[in-house]
Structure 1
C-alpha cells in the first residue's frame, strides 16, 4: 500500500540501499550483505518498499529502480570488497534487456562478490532464465529467497550450483513448524554444498530453533537490522 506522503516525496534519486548482513551462525561473521531499497523522505522518514513500489510499478520504473539500486550498491560495496546481492523481481527476469545487461556486466567476473536474490516463486516461473544466467556467468552468486517448500524447480536449481537457499520467515516462525521439511531441506542443501539461510530471526527463541535444526546461516533483526552504512 502506497503511503500518502510517497506520492509527493518519491524521486528515484532518494532511493538508497540499506545493507542487512547474512550471518554465519557458527562464527558470528558476515557471509554477505543483502542490499535493500529504502526511500529517504522528508524529516528523516525512511519508507519501506511496500510503501513506494506501487508507484514504481504504476510508472513502469521497475528496470530503472533495479539499475539504480545496483549502481548505488556497487559504488559502496566494491571498494570495501564486500560480498553483496540485490533482489530481482519477476518483471526483471522477464526483461530480456536487463538479463542481457547482467550477463554483459558479469560474464567475465572472477569472483562471487556480486549476487542476485530471486524468490522461490520467480524461480519456478523463470528457471530457464536462471539456468542461462548460470551458464553465462559462472561466478554470479545466485540465492533463492522465500523458500517454504521443496519442489522440482528448487532441486533443479541446486544442480546449477547456486550459492544459497533462504527459508521463508513464515516457515521458521510457524507455530506448527514442519520439522521434517526443514530436515529434508538441510540435508538437500548439504548434499549440494549450498548454504541454507534462515530469514526473519527476530528473537533468541527462533535463533535457538534454527541452530537446533542444523541451519548454519541466518538473517533477521535479532542478528542485525538493515543499515545505511556497514
Structure 2
C-alpha cells in the first residue's frame, strides 16, 4: 500500500527513526538497536518504507534518506552507551556522497564502534567491488558491518564469511525448519559453527512467536530480534 496522503510536497522532514531492540538471549538484555525509517503522516500514522520508498526514488532522495536516518539516529544515541544499526541500500554502497557524509559525520562522533551498517546478503554479493570499497571506508571509521536477510538455501555462505562482517541476520523461519528437517538442521549447524569460528554473531530475526525463539535457542543462537520482544517505536524506553 502506498501513502495516498503524501503528494509531490513529500519531505524527508517527516521521516524519523523507529528503534527495534536486538536481544542478547544469554543475559535477557538489549544488545543493540536497529534504526528503521518511518514516515509520519499528518494524522501521526507511522508508515513503513514499502509505503513511501516510491516517493523517495521518484524524487531521487535515496542518499538523502540514508543521511537523514543516520543523522537522527546518531543524535539520539550520541550520549547513550548503546550499539545501534542503520540500513544502507545498494546504491549507497557506490555513492561517493554517502562515503563523504560518513567520513565527515564521524570525525567527532564518540565511540563510532557502536555503529553498524546493515546490508542485505544479495546486495553485498551482487556488487562485490562496491561492497569492498564501502567496507574499507567503514573499517577506517571503526563502523561494523552486518549482513541482513541471509538465506542458507539461496546465498553463498563461504562468500559471505569472506566479507569483513561482524554479524549475520537469519530469518527465524530457518531455525523452525531446522528443528523439523535434518538437511536444514545440518546447514544451520554449519552456519552457526563457521560463524563462531570467524567471530561472527548470528542473529535470528523476524521472531514473532515463542516457538520460533525456542527453535533458534535450540540451534545455539545467542541474539534475536522481532515482534515477540518489541515492535519498533520512536523511543527506546
How high is the TM-score relative to the length of structure 2?
A: 0.87
> Equivalent residue of 1:80, what SS?
coil
Q: Which moved more, 1:1-10 or 1:66-75?
A: 1-10
Deviation digits for residues 23-47 of structure 1, max 9, x if unmatched? 1111111111110001111222111
- Unmatched 5+ residue regions in structure 2? none
- Count how many residue pairs are aligned between Structure 1 and Structure 2: 227
Asked if 2 retains the 8 angstrom alpha-carbon contact of 1:106 and 1:137, the reply is no
Q: Which residue of 2 aligns with 1:182?
A: 188
Per the TM alignment, residue 15 of structure 1 is displaced from its structure 2 partner at its CA by 0.5
Range 203-212 or range 118-127, more displaced: 118-127
Q: Does 1:198 align with 2:204?
A: yes
> What residue in structure 2 maps to residue 221 of structure 1?
227
Q: SS at 1:32's partner residue? A: strand
Equivalent position to 2:169, from 166, 175, 187: 166
SS of equivalent residue, structure 1 residue 5: coil
CA distance in 2, matches of 1:46, 1:111: 28
Contact 2:115 2:144 in 1 (8 A): yes
Cα pair 1:9 1:42 within 8 Å, conserved = no
User: Aligned partners of 1:167 and 1:206: how far apart in 2?
Assistant: 12
* TM-score, normalising length: structure 1: 0.89
Cα distance, 1:36–1:168 mapped onto 2, change above 3 Å: same
Structure 1: gaps spanning 5 or more residues: none
State the Cα distance separating 1:65 from its structure 2 match: 0.6
Computed over aligned residues only, the root mean square deviation of the Cα atoms, in angstroms, reads: 2.2
Is 1:129 the equivalent of 2:130?
Answer: yes
Whole-Å Cα distance in 2 between the matches of residues 41 and 136 of structure 1? 35
Residue 182 of structure 1: how far off its partner (Å): 1.2
Match of 1:4 in 2: 4
Aligned to 2:120: 119
SS of aligned partner of 1:4: coil
Q: How does 1:1-230 map to 2 (within 5 A)?
A: 1-7=1-7, 10-106=10-106, 111-138=112-139, 139-149=142-152, 150-151=155-156, 152-157=158-163, 160=164, 162-172=165-175, 178-230=184-236
Question: Partners in 2 of 1:134 and 1:3 — Cα distance?
Answer: 34
